[in-house]
Structure 1
Amino acid sequence: MTFYKKANNFYSQLKFKKMKKVLFTLILMFATGAFVVSCSGDDDSGSTASCTDGVQNGDETGIDCGGSCTPCTSANLSGDVIADTTLDASLDYELTGAYVVKSGASLTIPAGTVIKATGGTAAYIAVERGAQIFINGTSANPVVMTSASANPAPGDWGGLVICGDAPTNKGNNVTSEVADLQYGGTTANDNSGSIRYLRVEYTGATFSNDKEFNGVSLFGVGSGTTFEFVQSFEGGDDGIEFFGGTVNGENLVSTNSGDDSIDFADGWAGNGENWYISGGAKAGIEGSNNGDNGNAAPVTNTTLSNITVVGPVTEGALFYKEGGGNFTIDNFYTSNVNVGITVSDTDAEAAARIENGDLTITNIQFADAPTDLDITNYTGANQSFFTEGIATGAGNGAASPDWAAGWTRGLDNSGASSTQNLAGEITGDVTLSADVEYQLTSSFYVRSGGSLTIPAGTTIKATGGTAAFIAVERGAQIFVNGTATNPVVMTSGAATPAPADWGGLVICGDAPTNKGTNVTSEVADLQYGGNTANDNSGSIRYLRVEYTGATFSNDKEFNGVSLFGVGSGTTFEYVQSLNGGDDGIEFFGGTVSGNFLVSIGSGDDSIDFADGWAGNGDSWYISKGAKAGIEGSNNGDNGNATPVTTTTLSNITVVGPVTEGALFFKEGGGNFTITNFYTEGVDLGVNISSTDAEAAVRIEANALSINPMQFSSPATGFEQTNYGGVNQSFITVGDNTGAGNGAAEPTWANRWATGF
């Protein structure tokens, strides 16, 4: 049966409105071939709802997913795009294979989009001749194409390849070195789209010495194309390379390329302005005509201005080779280069052009030059093709140019000059940028239906005491995507930070609590609590909050992170509170689990849970807290309230001294099973108030079990427990390693946590 007959049969089984949506979706999926989907949900009949627009919603796709549909958060990219396609900056894209925009189609990538690639040479983005790409980054929110590796390195993936129909001296219909696409023609003003504020990282995957990806490769790209504010960072081969064509390149940055930094050849007839190059392995700029025939036409012909090359370089600030071309360069600043202009002594065509005056460099400055500097190794008769002078290069000499601030990586001012205030509220999907320093000057709410994504390495600095906090409303989501080497940090903006400088992070969910439903949070005045045990408030990984805990009163204080009725669908791991004015991390009911948590220097309890919390915890490290290491309770108003706090904790370290016990089992306590509990320097192991009748009943009923618990180097006057009841066997003493290394910093906390 043909595709359309199947669609017509499907039509007859559905209501007219739903049928139109289904038919459109099916035709679109058929037309776009291998374009990938991101997430899916199954309805009762087993049908799968594909996430085609960033929302996994059965009504959008014509499939009823029974009300269990949830927002998509990620998507894979691979295959061919043959219809106009726009990505979504709120999604986490993974490039798992070749992603090729075919002739006649376009790909639009909005500001703030991040694409993470896996797969070496198999993963790249390519734009076919006749196709277009529109990269609409901004200085505050560049588009980033990077490696998905936990330990990214040059050569992790291919790069970006764009092919056009402009002239080259390689001829027409040439096959690109990588991606196997045709390029080159007679359309000088060919338009392959617009690329602005793009950063490509860890590119340069290699097939062989003669077949390597660059950060960005432009094959026969025409002058109708915009190419500006582009950085290659830590590429394995060349940073940016022009293979013929007529496109101009402005405000380009190449940092730490494994070969040449910016390269052009094959009759390139574009111009360049504002290039900042540093850390490259070989030539700063490699400019050539044709590797097979130095006199091939059309000859490479360019005017470059405002150029900085920071060395050392092994092949010159400029390597004029393979026939060179007609180059006019002005305001050329070099720093710490050992060769200024390199010309091979076997390159007769290049030498002929120098003698003919085809290479002219005015105002070239050699700053911080080594004593053995060769301004040029060219020994021909014409030694006046360059004129030394005072230059500013790309703007600030060897220093990072102002126009590179905020959107680049690896420069002195990467993000330094780009600051933004966070205040107010968001209702849509918002992604921050790691290259922007955010100032939290007031309350910042993520409202129901919205999401906030915070990428690795982002820093948020808060001022304003109780007025400054981040709050996630019930029904909203937060995605903190830190890594071990680049955690997200929320800290004080004070010159001399101190505990309680600002509020903290507040997350509210719809999971059960024994305080009821629709309860108002202690801080931020949000509703929380419901009947959705698996409620999903997002994902928080590798987050450090510092100097939190601003106080309204003794009964109304911010913690480092407060989780009110947060559900088990939420990820909460690798989180540290450092030097908070109140509790470090506190769970107010809910079902979310907390793993790999660190609380150091809290002004009250270090980690606290109550109100029917039904999550679990693994690998907690606690030290320097003022009161209890862990405070675990059921309900401060009614110790027997239900659901009762119930948890299993494992691999716990509490380093004292503590004034209220390594564990304070209070206000009815709950059902606690704790294994591998290591304490050091504590004066009281387990604290139970003599007036807490509900807690005592639970201990007598064996609702509290700790096995093994180690008391290393106890303080003077040490007590294992102050409980005076009959059951004294709820603690079994034995050696263990606690969070991993006893009292020492656990290995899982290396690099992202601090204050040990």
Structure 2
Amino acid sequence: MIISFTTSCITEDDDAGTVVTAEDDLSGIITEDLTLNASITYNLSDALVIEDGASLTIPAGTLIRATGGTSSYIAVAQGGQIFVQGTAANPVIMTSGKDSPAPADWGGLVICGKAPTNVGSTATSEVGDLAYGGDVANDNSGSVRYLRVEYTGASFNGSKEFNGVSLFGVGSETVFEYVQSYNGADDGIEFFGGTVNGNYLVSTNSGDDSIDFADGWNGNGEFWYITGGAQAGIEGSNNGDNGDITPVTSTNLSNITIVGPVNEGALFYKEGGGSFTFNNVFISNVDLAVKVKDEDTPAALRIENGDLVMTNVQFSDVEDEFEFTDYTGANQSFITEGPTTGAGNGAAAPDWAAGWTIGLDNSNTTEELSGEITTDVTLDAAINYSLVGSLVVLDGASLTIPAGTNINATGGTSSYIAVAQGGQIFINGTQDNPVIMTSGKASPAPADWGGLVVCGKAPTNVGTTATSEVADLTYGGDISDDNSGSIRYLRVEYTGASFNGSKEFNGVSLFGVGSGTVFEYIQSYNGADDGIEFFGGTVSGDYLVSTNSGDDSIDFADGWNGSGEFWYITGGAQAGIEGSNNGDNGDITPITNATLSNISIVGPVNEGALFYKEGGGEFTITNLYTNAIDLGVKVKDTDIPAANRIENGDLVINNVQFDETADGFQATDYTGNNLSFYTLGDNIGAGNAADVPDWANGWTRFSEED
């Protein structure tokens, strides 16, 4: 046996063939039977390969953390065996060893058997460089039960990359069930030929296809739950070089749930496809149930010949222009619709996945959030959080919220998240997995909870320091580059709880926040007051979306000196943008100074595209697109400081387009002498004129059905 352990104590029982280690470093070649110890957390620092005639047994509750990228993987060679003995309460977990885990941190699990494939009598695995295939249909590579692999998919190049679990020519005597791939960079689980069955499989947030089978796989599967994949829900093919080669991929699959959106449909039937029978399939938020490439003649012929049959297929939560297939051949009857629960609970996580999976609704623990954060705290995206009171990040502390985290607020004005001066928040959402802060009520509505409040030490014009309108925290100072953290890909919903008419929450309120803070890809949805508001400070805000705000959509005041680009505003009640200097003294310094570009404002709104008020400020706006708005700029007649600034040329709007305006439209109701502060011209605003810009796809919502 060649195996590497960094250890001070190894004991070996020759009769049982068991090695117990006191330390954790795991790598090398296993040539005899080896059993790991669940009380040890193992560090997979390099490849661990089980050779012909040897076995690896991994007991329930064992944790293996990989650290070596493409060099860290576990592989079973032909003739070797692996016995993963997890349980629902104590799964075996193979995951990243990094402090901040991410897809592609390590390889994955590779199993090579002697069962038939259609890529030759034997072949070499894409990863692991091991032989696989043969003529032993009932080959036995062991048993894998209750296993979770996380953050897999390390890649050598675009054609050589690990999946979560790769099964190369694995035989039918191998047990493969209750397996989850979570946050892998490539496919979740892939069958390369062989005859092994796969039951009770879960693929979550795969970077490519969720479950893939090819190369003459002749196995079956039941109870598959697929969600969050990037490309196809299921990709099924015969052979990439010859779509007609035998043995042809053949499978019977039943009780399947596929939850989108995915780019390549619920089923990508490709490279010759095969003989597939599906029964009881629940498909949610996926536009294309079957996708076939136009040039894939063998796959199309198989559909025409009836080799693809899908019965009892239910489509749920589909888009307006939904079509269940983009296959354009004569045989459109291969899909039969009917009610089903798919993997068990329709689009929701099935009961059989509870306890051993991560990132699924019914497997998530629910935790309550409230109180003061005095150290560095990181939330867990696998946990459903209930915000039952205020959560305040104090000076010197930080709160990190990973991608995909959901926080449900239940307490009206008492439920909000706030960052005090000197505290920091790191919201690490992604386009595919935003952080969502929303109402915890069964029937959510605006003003169900407060919102997000961030207080910094950057200058304002309301005093050297002030107290925030909500949360009662100090803000302001003289640190222009103050850093309150980073907020990316965040959606706040149903905010705006109100104490009274002058004390109410916005979706996101930024009080004296400094330029060292990152603030981008933020949406306020269905808030009762303003969507996003800057109270002084120097932070910039890019790629902002405000939808259906009960007051102004985006507001800035109190000496804000920042910039913004790519703002998409729609459905607000009052002003699209409200910009002001100071409500008590319109001439006080520092003057609000804003540089904005690539803005779309879709009305109607009551107070115009821009309400320039309370002294206004020095605003330069480039590429402003407005739609269905009567007033381009609104200024109160009594606001002398604001009017003076327009007369002095402090307001400049270059290239503004007014589209779909009502009868009697006038570009501005400003009645002063300077009516040349704006220049008309065609533009696309935030990207697509009145339509949702491409950069907002995937992480925003615009209706209750989204």
**TM-score range normalised by the length of the shorter chain:** 0.5 to 0.7
How far has the Cα of 1:716 moved from its partner? Answer: 3.7
C-alpha distance in 1 between matches for 2:157 and 2:448 = 53
Please show how residues 510-521 of structure 1 align to structure 2 within 5 Å. Answer: 510-521=457-468
Residues 123, 567 of structure 1: alpha-carbon distance in 2 compared, 3 angstrom cutoff: farther
User: Could you tell me which amino acid in structure 1 is paired with residue 475 of structure 2?
Assistant: Y
Residues 571, 405 of structure 1: alpha-carbon distance in 2 compared, 3 angstrom cutoff: farther
Q: Which residue of 2 aligns with 1:232?
A: 181
Residues 240, 115 of structure 1: alpha-carbon distance in 2 compared, 3 angstrom cutoff: farther
Q: Which residue of 2 aligns with 1:457?
A: 404
Q: Which residue of 2 aligns with 1:594?
A: 541
How far has the Cα of 1:641 moved from its partner? Answer: 1.5
Residues 127, 579 of structure 1: alpha-carbon distance in 2 compared, 3 angstrom cutoff: same
Q: Deviations over 1:335-372 (max 9, x none)?
A: 979xxxxxxxxxxxxxxxxxxxxxxxxxxxxxxx999x
Answering whether residue 570 of structure 2 is matched by residue 623 of structure 1, we say: yes
Please show how residues 56-71 of structure 1 align to structure 2 within 5 Å. Answer: none
Question: Once superposed, what is the RMSD of the aligned Cα atoms?
Answer: 5.2
Please show how residues 199-348 of structure 1 align to structure 2 within 5 Å. Answer: 199-201=149-151, 203=153, 205=155, 213=162, 215=164, 231-233=180-182, 236=187, 256-258=210-212
How far has the Cα of 1:639 moved from its partner? Answer: 1.1
Secondary structure at the aligned position of 1:622 is classed as: strand
Answering whether residue 107 of structure 2 is matched by residue 159 of structure 1, we say: yes
Secondary structure at the aligned position of 2:562 is classed as: coil
Count of matched residue pairs: 490
Q: Deviations over 1:275-299 (max 9, x none)?
A: 98767989xxxxxxxxxxxxxxxxx
1:483 pairs, out of 418, 421, 430, with 430
C-alpha distance in 1 between matches for 2:599 and 2:64 = 39
Residues 114, 718 of structure 1: alpha-carbon distance in 2 compared, 3 angstrom cutoff: farther
Answering whether residue 519 of structure 2 is matched by residue 569 of structure 1, we say: no
Q: Which residue of 1 aligns with 2:699?
A: 752
Unmatched segments (≥5 aa) in structure 2: 1-5, 7-22, 27-42, 49-61, 76-88, 111-124, 131-145, 168-176, 193-199, 205-209, 215-221, 227-233, 237-251, 257-277, 281-309, 313-342
Answering whether residue 45 of structure 2 is matched by residue 100 of structure 1, we say: yes
Q: Which residue of 2 aligns with 1:391?
A: none
Answering whether residue 649 of structure 2 is matched by residue 702 of structure 1, we say: yes
How far has the Cα of 1:680 moved from its partner? Answer: 1.5
C-alpha distance in 2 between matches for 1:236 and 1:535 = 42
How far has the Cα of 1:435 moved from its partner? Answer: 2.4
Q: Deviations over 1:455-503 (max 9, x none)?
A: 2222211112101111111111112222222222111112221111110
Residues 113, 713 of structure 1: alpha-carbon distance in 2 compared, 3 angstrom cutoff: farther
How far has the Cα of 1:443 moved from its partner? Answer: 0.8
Answering whether residue 613 of structure 2 is matched by residue 663 of structure 1, we say: no
Q: Which residue of 2 aligns with 1:494?
A: 441
Answering whether residue 350 of structure 2 is matched by residue 405 of structure 1, we say: no
Q: Which protein shows a greater Rg? A: 1
Q: Which residue of 2 aligns with 1:14?
A: none
Q: Deviations over 1:140-166 (max 9, x none)?
A: 9x996499xxx98xxx6752579xxxx
Residues 556, 544 of structure 1: alpha-carbon distance in 2 compared, 3 angstrom cutoff: same
Residues 112, 752 of structure 1: alpha-carbon distance in 2 compared, 3 angstrom cutoff: farther
How far has the Cα of 1:508 moved from its partner? Answer: 1.0
Q: Which residue of 2 aligns with 1:652?
A: 599
TM, length-normalised to structure 1: 0.55
Please show how residues 389-428 of structure 1 align to structure 2 within 5 Å. Answer: 404-405=353-354, 408=357, 413-415=360-362, 417-428=364-375
Q: Which residue of 1 aligns with 2:640?
A: 693
Q: Which residue of 1 aligns with 2:672?
A: 725
C-alpha distance in 1 between matches for 2:157 and 2:550 = 57
Secondary structure at the aligned position of 2:561 is classed as: coil
Secondary structure at the aligned position of 2:641 is classed as: helix
Unmatched segments (≥5 aa) in structure 1: 1-31, 33-81, 86-97, 104-110, 129-137, 163-175, 182-195, 219-227, 242-250, 261-274, 283-308, 314-334, 338-368, 372-393
C-alpha distance in 2 between matches for 1:749 and 1:518 = 36
Q: Deviations over 1:634-682 (max 9, x none)?
A: 1111111211111111111112222212101111111100111111111
Secondary structure at the aligned position of 1:719 is classed as: coil
Residues 433, 113 of structure 1: alpha-carbon distance in 2 compared, 3 angstrom cutoff: farther
C-alpha distance in 2 between matches for 1:208 and 1:674 = 43
C-alpha distance in 2 between matches for 1:492 and 1:146 = 35
Residues 665, 418 of structure 1: alpha-carbon distance in 2 compared, 3 angstrom cutoff: same
Contact 2:522 2:543 in 1 (8 A): yes
C-alpha distance in 2 between matches for 1:597 and 1:208 = 34
Instruction: Give the share of equivalent positions with the same residue, in percent.
Output: 57
Contact 2:630 2:665 in 1 (8 A): yes
Q: Which residue of 2 aligns with 1:380?
A: none
Bigger drift between 493-502 and 719-728 goes to: 719-728
Contact 1:112 1:432 in 2 (8 A): no
Contact 1:202 1:236 in 2 (8 A): no
Answering whether residue 507 of structure 2 is matched by residue 560 of structure 1, we say: yes
Secondary structure at the aligned position of 2:645 is classed as: helix
Residues 180, 445 of structure 1: alpha-carbon distance in 2 compared, 3 angstrom cutoff: farther
Contact 1:434 1:457 in 2 (8 A): yes
C-alpha distance in 2 between matches for 1:127 and 1:597 = 44
Secondary structure at the aligned position of 1:511 is classed as: coil
Contact 1:125 1:161 in 2 (8 A): no
Residues 727, 237 of structure 1: alpha-carbon distance in 2 compared, 3 angstrom cutoff: closer
Residues 180, 651 of structure 1: alpha-carbon distance in 2 compared, 3 angstrom cutoff: same
User: Could you tell me which amino acid in structure 2 is paired with residue 444 of structure 1?
Assistant: L
Contact 1:423 1:444 in 2 (8 A): yes
C-alpha distance in 2 between matches for 1:621 and 1:629 = 10
Q: Which residue of 2 aligns with 1:526?
A: 473
Contact 2:191 2:212 in 1 (8 A): no
Q: Which residue of 2 aligns with 1:134?
A: none
User: Could you tell me which amino acid in structure 2 is paired with residue 159 of structure 1?
Assistant: G
User: Could you tell me which amino acid in structure 2 is paired with residue 200 of structure 1?
Assistant: E
Q: Deviations over 1:722-747 (max 9, x none)?
A: 22222221122222221122212112
Q: Which residue of 2 aligns with 1:606?
A: 553
C-alpha distance in 1 between matches for 2:157 and 2:645 = 66
Secondary structure at the aligned position of 1:697 is classed as: helix
Secondary structure at the aligned position of 1:748 is classed as: helix
C-alpha distance in 1 between matches for 2:66 and 2:604 = 47
Residues 610, 254 of structure 1: alpha-carbon distance in 2 compared, 3 angstrom cutoff: closer
How far has the Cα of 1:407 moved from its partner? Answer: 6.6
C-alpha distance in 1 between matches for 2:400 and 2:64 = 11
C-alpha distance in 1 between matches for 2:669 and 2:491 = 34
Contact 2:394 2:420 in 1 (8 A): yes
Residues 510, 123 of structure 1: alpha-carbon distance in 2 compared, 3 angstrom cutoff: farther
Residues 750, 407 of structure 1: alpha-carbon distance in 2 compared, 3 angstrom cutoff: farther
C-alpha distance in 2 between matches for 1:612 and 1:636 = 11
Q: Which residue of 2 aligns with 1:546?
A: 493
Secondary structure at the aligned position of 2:644 is classed as: helix
Residues 651, 99 of structure 1: alpha-carbon distance in 2 compared, 3 angstrom cutoff: farther
Contact 1:406 1:418 in 2 (8 A): no
C-alpha distance in 2 between matches for 1:513 and 1:653 = 27
Residues 146, 629 of structure 1: alpha-carbon distance in 2 compared, 3 angstrom cutoff: farther
Secondary structure at the aligned position of 1:603 is classed as: coil
Contact 2:400 2:428 in 1 (8 A): yes
C-alpha distance in 1 between matches for 2:667 and 2:162 = 64
2:589 pairs, out of 638, 642, 646, with 642
Contact 1:504 1:548 in 2 (8 A): yes
How far has the Cα of 1:751 moved from its partner? Answer: 2.1
Contact 1:586 1:608 in 2 (8 A): yes
Residues 431, 620 of structure 1: alpha-carbon distance in 2 compared, 3 angstrom cutoff: same
